[in-house]
């Protein structure tokens, strides 16, 4: 089912939930809504589900305008962060509930529930109540309940946020696998950019009720169109510093205080055109500690992540976050030199926060 959202606005009195959202989702696509808490992701999802009526704008499922269609007539499956299982029903009754409402014959209900429960690996829990299940099991039941009616659209509202890290990893893979197998158009809300990056075909980055960007994970990562997107996508986040970019003899240089960095012409030229200071963005993986390099600094803190160390290096008043091999055993207080891979550098207009490299 293709979903087209045009100029969607939802207000709660004076409070804006989501504003002027335009988004076209292809049939069978897996789209993630990514953004910080309170940016309007849930509001958008519940408006798609028909729980909220849009204040303005159009929502179309295929050719059908669904603005005024009741939730029960939208054929949607939804998974909630809180699982939202009915505590007074058994697992079987929970999963069968959508079928019971559709007045599906009892024997077919039985068959479908058992099949879905088998797929979700909860076939032996059908007689339990939700209160007797672990978080992971509850999430599987919730997923089963969403799938059992063979929905046209699947909506996920931060379904894995309440699970522990390991389970989250497993479920992430399972959901993605399931979605690809079934080919159901899915929208997956999350504030976790790793989830969005790993699962989605395209990511809609939202902030303050507005759509910031809608693109594939690779595009968002390599060619972020706004500083917000650049900072939000990627972990650890991109480093930003204010610099002046100038050109002399065809060579471009980014300068601030004592720091001087050579910028490739393709990226330096648009930045140099901009009058005054610009915001330079460098990803942690593009910075390395070297015995000698362009910039000297001091290690402020080392955070071991297991496979790597997250290191905060201070250069004057600037701070650079980077990742280093644990074997190099760096310590706080150590004086080091930094090397920058400037081929991936980003530049943003400090006023509009738009990219100087990738225009919309």
* Binding residue (CB under 6 A) for ligand ADP from 5, 17, 94, 287: 17
Answer whether 75's CB lies under 8 Å from 152's CB. Answer: yes
Task: Show contacts of 222-226: CB within 8 Å, 24+ apart.
Answer: 222/344, 223/355, 223/357, 223/358, 224/281, 224/346, 224/355, 224/358, 225/354, 225/355, 225/358, 225/359, 225/360, 226/348, 226/353, 226/354, 226/355
Residues 62-81 touching another protein, rule: CB under 8 A, are: 70-72, 74, 76-78, 80-81
43 is a contact residue toward ligand ADP (CB under 6 A): yes
139 vs 207 by CB, closer to another protein: 139
Determine the Cα–Cα distance for residues 43 and 108; give it in Å rounded to an integer: 35
42 vs 227 by CB, closer to Mg ion: 42
Q: Which two tokens stand for residue 46?
A: 């519940």
184 binds, among another protein, ligand ADP, Mg ion, none (CB under 5 to 8 A by kind): none
Answer whether 2's CB lies under 8 Å from 25's CB. Answer: yes
Residues 33-52 touching Mg ion, rule: CB under 5 A, are: 42
Answer whether 189's CB lies under 8 Å from 41's CB. Answer: yes
84 binds, among another protein, ligand ADP, Mg ion, none (CB under 5 to 8 A by kind): another protein
42 is a contact residue toward ligand ADP (CB under 6 A): yes
42 vs 212 by CB, closer to Mg ion: 42
42 vs 346 by CB, closer to Mg ion: 42
Name the segment binding another protein (CB under 8 A); options: 14-22, 93-101, 207-215, 253-261. Answer: 93-101
In our burial notation (b when 16+ CB lie closer than 10 A, e otherwise), range 23-55 reads bebeeebbbbbbbeeebbbbbbbbbbbbebebe
Site string for another protein, 134-163 (x = CB under 8 A): x-xx-------x---x-----x--------
What CA dihedral angle connects 64, 27, 177 and 190, to 10 degrees? -70
40 binds, among ligand ADP, another protein, Mg ion, none (CB under 5 to 8 A by kind): ligand ADP
82 binds, among another protein, ligand ADP, Mg ion, none (CB under 5 to 8 A by kind): another protein
281 is a contact residue toward ligand ADP (CB under 6 A): no
Site string for another protein, 102-121 (x = CB under 8 A): x-------------------
Name the segment binding another protein (CB under 8 A); options: 45-53, 173-181, 247-255, 280-288. Answer: 45-53
Residue closest to 74 by CA, chosen among 85, 86, 84, 59: 59
What does the radius of gyration of the chain's CA atoms come to, in whole angstroms?
24
264 is a contact residue toward ligand ADP (CB under 6 A): no
For every residue of 82-114, DSSP letters joined together read: T----TTS-HHHHHHHHHHHTT--HHHHHHHHH
* Binding residue (CB under 8 A) for another protein from 4, 129, 210, 223: 129
Q: Which two tokens stand for residue 216?
A: 């594939």
* Shortest Å, Cβ 37 to ligand ADP: 4
Determine the Cα–Cα distance for residues 290 and 336; give it in Å rounded to an integer: 7
120 vs 203 by CB, closer to ligand ADP: 203
Cross-strand partners of 279: 242, 348
Residue closest to 289 by CA, chosen among 327, 263, 240, 262: 327
Angle at 231 between CA 319 and CA 359, to 5 degrees: 120
125 vs 155 by CB, closer to Mg ion: 155
DSSP, collapsed to helix, strand or coil, labels residue 206 as strand
128 is a contact residue toward another protein (CB under 8 A): yes
Residue closest to 239 by CA, chosen among 273, 287, 289, 191: 287
Number of residues that bind another protein (CB under 8 A): 34
Binding site for another protein (CB under 8 A): 46, 49-51, 70-72, 74, 76-78, 80-82, 84, 86-88, 97-98, 101-102, 128-129, 131-134, 136-137, 145, 149, 155, 167
Binding site for Mg ion (CB under 5 A): 42
Binding site for ligand ADP (CB under 6 A): 12, 15, 17, 35, 37-43
């Amino acid at each position: 089912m293709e979903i087209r959202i045009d100029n969607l606005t939802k207000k709660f009195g004076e409070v804006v939930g989501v504003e002027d959202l335009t988004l076209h989702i292809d049939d069978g696509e897996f789209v993630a809504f990514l953004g910080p808490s309170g940016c309007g992701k849930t509001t958008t999802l519940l408006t798609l589900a028909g729980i909220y009526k849009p204040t303005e704008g159009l929502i179309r499922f295929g050719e059908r305008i669904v603005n005024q269609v009741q939730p029960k007539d939208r054929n949607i499956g939804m998974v909630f962060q809180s699982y939202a299982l009915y505590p007074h029903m058994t697992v079987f009754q929970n999963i069968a509930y959508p079928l019971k409402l559709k007045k599906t014959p009892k024997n077919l209900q039985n068959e479908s529930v058992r099949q879905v429960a088998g797929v979700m690996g909860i076939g032996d829990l059908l007689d339990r109540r939700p209160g007797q299940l672990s978080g992971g099991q509850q999430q599987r039941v919730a997923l089963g309940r969403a799938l059992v009616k063979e929905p046209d659209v699947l909506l996920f509202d931060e379904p894995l946020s309440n699970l522990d890290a390991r389970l989250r990893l497993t479920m992430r893979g399972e959901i993605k696998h399931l979605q690809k197998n079934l080919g159901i158009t899915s929208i997956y809300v999350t504030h976790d950019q790793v989830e969005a990056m790993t699962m989605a075909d395209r990511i809609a980055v939202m902030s303050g009720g507005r759509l910031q960007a809608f693109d594939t994970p690779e595009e968002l990562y390599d060619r972020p169109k706004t500083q917000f997107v650049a900072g939000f996508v990627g972990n650890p986040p991109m480093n930003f510093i204010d610099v002046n970019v100038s050109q002399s003899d065809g060579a471009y240089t980014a300068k601030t205080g004592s720091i001087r960095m050579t910028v490739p012409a393709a990226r330096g030229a648009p930045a140099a055109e901009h009058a005054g200071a610009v915001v330079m963005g460098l990803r942690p993986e593009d910075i390395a500690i070297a015995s000698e390099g362009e910039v000297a600094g001091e290690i402020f803190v080392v955070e071991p992540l297991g496979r790597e160390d997250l290191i905060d290096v201070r250069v004057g008043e600037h701070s650079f976050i980077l990742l280093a091999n644990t074997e190099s055993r760096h310590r706080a207080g150590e004086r080091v030199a930094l090397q920058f891979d400037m081929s991936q550098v980003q530049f943003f207009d400090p006023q509009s926060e738009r990219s100087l490299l990738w225009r919309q």
